[in-house]
Chain A
């Protein structure tokens, strides 16, 4: 079996296994699994409204997935996507409420602010890694907490008067689209999906087609050889974290400028950044794979909301299924061996 085929089949098997074990858990805990899955399906695709919500949810997932994947392809583990997303969200909303500009300037400015904030949040661990060899996993995890509390502080003191959320952003910086909303029976679908898809293209083009991408990938695989070849290893590590952080920051802009239109004090993480790790993993860190993985997780997340209503199943079960899928993807080595065995038997 060719490698490409395997790369497609392995995640599919992982998803199936996740669903299967999820079913067993539901049956074991006395829920009607059939009804639950029908509810899940209806909650994601049953009405055009739900489909609009799925696409809306897919948008930040794609960007968060890109952020993780970009770092991974260049040899780094960016566990800080969540924090970069949060600061991006705040930066976008800040620009959204603070200025009054024509839309052609204001919206791009707000989007870029989010990217810049995320990039800065990625720059710090990148710098620490490049200059002092501090492992990026530790720093990025820490930076997540810093992001959470710093943004909460700003929202409470600078962006509002001791309130727990900011004002709404001005219309000129909003990604919301009456057209898309109308198309999907007034879901919160917004223009952000176009930005996300553009970023998928950018990531692919940057990594696979440019000389900078060649350099980034080379450094990711073999720092010694890259140094020998005259590449600046430190600068490439930092750049990789900056670009990854920018994608994550854009994911925040999707929430701030699209879905919500404001930023609110958070008691905990949004989870989108962490789900981005799962998206990248399931999507094999490739552009197309990420789109499909984001679609899957987006549907699960949105569809899950319907499970308690229609089938009386707690929507936490979907989180369990997602966790199981991630588990089976991570254990894909097992699945690969299994597939090898089967295909070998088939030959003989």
Chain B
């Protein structure tokens, strides 16, 4: 048997758009096969076809050489196909075990045999090196853990072929290392994997072959050993991509954001931000580097008014904004690209056009005497969609129907377009393709060059190093060091982020 899965000449249409046009993908047993393409190229759609969530208009699917019709995910499960989705599908209030067995419960006398289920979960998790606590609630565990639960779910259902849709986009660098290890174990145990990712480094590291699609059409399949990141990028985008962002020296001016001795507690009442000092000047990009969970989220929430601060001061252009309502903060000139696009960034059930005025809908020209002008709203949306290359059938399409990366581009467009004095960008390029990342970095630097302040929060050291003018390292709710990206190395940053070393850079910060 040469292929475990063959998707031949698949075509899938949505109203107003052809998401997959004549795509062929063949998966060999025991390989990790990458699926690469720009945002909106049709990767998730193709995998949803394989998983039975969508029915293709044309084409054929063969599993182990036999033609099959995968009419729904149950059929996919029975064929040994499992999928870890781009956006997780877990029940928050259930335990890990309950989530894993959901829909496949083992019963004893009509009652769920939770003891046995827990034992089974433990067994699988040991076998594949996926350590989890079977009794923990989903709402209490990290994103990385949640992903493990998704993987366990597929394994529990006996999956032989695993589909991963952008698994690394939501993970921290440490978690990515662990995931890659897990992928290798899975292959050793005889599984075959399709991996969607925008990170070419990951493809080069773990994949055997890669299939590239562009704007819904299949471009071809290449062996990873015979290619390189540059070639892959140009195959996928259709032009040369530079990986390093060019920028001139920054010309910092007056303080725009000035935080002094800030203290913030988290939802459990524990101090997560402790005497934090940080300032961002007009005309500079300050990057915040840190391991996830060291107070980054709470810091952003405190600045934007989404979370109460205990004490200290947050000044915006010299004006105190601590504990102000979010709208007031926004009106002092703060823009915010949120970390979680589905939770905070978009109203998924609104058309993408209406999402473009989420903060400005009540202002002229979008609203006059309380009445909305849809003409103005949609013409603004049209401009932004074009400018930021948001791939969508139209501005009336619901945000939910956009691909993950295009949702992100829409949010970024909206926030940059408001031209805020301070732009807070939290993981702005999460889930974006290399071409889009290049463009977004350019736009962030452009904001800086127009004399705006930018605060960048990212787990990707590459991004922090490339884009920032100053790097502030956060550790346990404190800025423990401020360094110049030109004078530091990833190793040094790594040490600082681990809290092993404190450093003062030129007395410039108030640590």
Interface residues of A (CB under 8 A from B): 209-215, 217-218, 221-222, 224-232
Contacts and interface: CB of A to CB of B under 8 A. Distances in A.
Contacts of A217: 350
A214 B354 contact: yes
A230 B321 CA distance: 14
9 contacts: A210-B371, A211-B371, A218-B350, A221-B349, A221-B350, A222-B347, A226-B347, A227-B326, A231-B327
B371 A209 contact: yes
Nearest to B15: A2
A146 B326 CA distance: 38
Interface of B: 304, 306, 325-330, 336, 338, 343-350, 354, 358-359, 361-362, 366-367, 370-372
The 8 A-B residue pairs with the shortest CB-CB distance in the complex, in nearest-first order: A230-B327, A211-B367, A228-B344, A229-B358, A230-B326, A211-B362, A221-B349, A222-B347
A229 B366 CA distance: 15
Contacts of A232: 325, 327
A224 to B, nearest CB: 5
B361 A214 contact: yes
A209 B336 CA distance: 27
Contact of B372 (A214, A229, A230): A214
Nearest to B341: A225
A210 B343 CA distance: 24
A214 B328 CA distance: 19
B370 A210 contact: yes
A224 B343 contact: yes
Contact of B345 (A227, A228, A231): A228
A210 B372 contact: yes
A225 B362 contact: no
A76 B336 CA distance: 29
A227 B304 CA distance: 10
A229 B371 contact: no
B170 to A, nearest CB: 17
Given A225-B358, A228-B336, A228-B338, 5 more contacts: A211-B367, A214-B372, A224-B344, A229-B326, A230-B327
Nearest to B358: A229
Contacts of A210: 367, 370-372
B347 A228 contact: no
Contacts of A211: 361-362, 366-367, 370-372
Contacts of A214: 354, 361, 372
Nearest to B360: A229
Contacts of B361: 211, 214-215
A224 B327 CA distance: 14
A225 B306 contact: no
B371 A218 contact: no
Contacts of B370: 210-212
A232 B328 CA distance: 11
A225 B354 contact: no
B322 to A, nearest CB: 16
Contacts of B345: 225, 228
Contact of B358 (A212, A213, A218): A218
A221 B326 contact: no
A116 B367 CA distance: 28
A211 to B, nearest CB: 4
Contacts of B326: 227-230
A218 B325 contact: no
Contacts of A224: 343-344
Nearest to A219: B347
B499 to A, nearest CB: 30
Contacts of B347: 218, 221-222, 225-226
B336 A222 contact: no
A227 B306 CA distance: 7
Contacts of B328: 230
B15 to A, nearest CB: 9
Contacts of B350: 217-218, 221
Nearest to A218: B347
Nearest to A2: B15
A286 to B, nearest CB: 15
Nearest to A229: B358
Nearest to A211: B367
* Residue of A210, A212, A215, A229 with most partner-chain B CB within 10 A: A229
B333 to A, nearest CB: 13
B307 to A, nearest CB: 11
Nearest to A213: B372
A229 B343 contact: no
Contacts of A228: 304, 306, 326, 336, 338, 344-345, 358
A230 B327 CA distance: 4
Contacts of B362: 211, 215
B349 A209 contact: no
Nearest to A205: B371
A230 B371 contact: no
B18 to A, nearest CB: 17
Contacts of A226: 347
A226 B362 CA distance: 13
Nearest to B326: A230
Contacts of A209: 371-372
Contacts of A215: 361-362
B346 A225 contact: yes
A214 B366 CA distance: 11
Given A211-B367, A214-B372, A230 B344 contact: no
A237 to B, nearest CB: 16
B349 A229 contact: no
A260 B388 CA distance: 62
A232 B304 CA distance: 14
A276 to B, nearest CB: 24
Given A230-B325, A231-B327, A232-B325, A225 B344 contact: yes
A317 B354 CA distance: 46
Nearest to B331: A230
A325 B328 CA distance: 49
Contacts of B327: 230-232
A217 B336 CA distance: 22
A217 B358 CA distance: 12
Nearest to B305: A230
A130 to B, nearest CB: 15
Nearest to B368: A211
A222 B348 CA distance: 8
A219 to B, nearest CB: 9
Contacts of B358: 218, 225, 228-229
A44 B366 CA distance: 47
B258 to A, nearest CB: 22
Given A211-B362, A218-B358, A225 B330 contact: no
Contacts of B346: 222, 225
A215 B329 CA distance: 18
A212 B362 CA distance: 8
A227 B345 CA distance: 10
Contacts of A227: 306, 326
A216 to B, nearest CB: 12
B465 to A, nearest CB: 29
A229 B338 CA distance: 11
Contacts of B343: 222, 224-225
A51 B175 CA distance: 70
A230 B330 contact: yes
A42 B105 CA distance: 55
Contacts of B330: 230
Contacts of B371: 209-211
Contacts of B372: 209-211, 213-214
A221 B344 CA distance: 12
A227 B358 CA distance: 10
A226 B329 CA distance: 14
A244 B20 CA distance: 45
B325 A221 contact: no
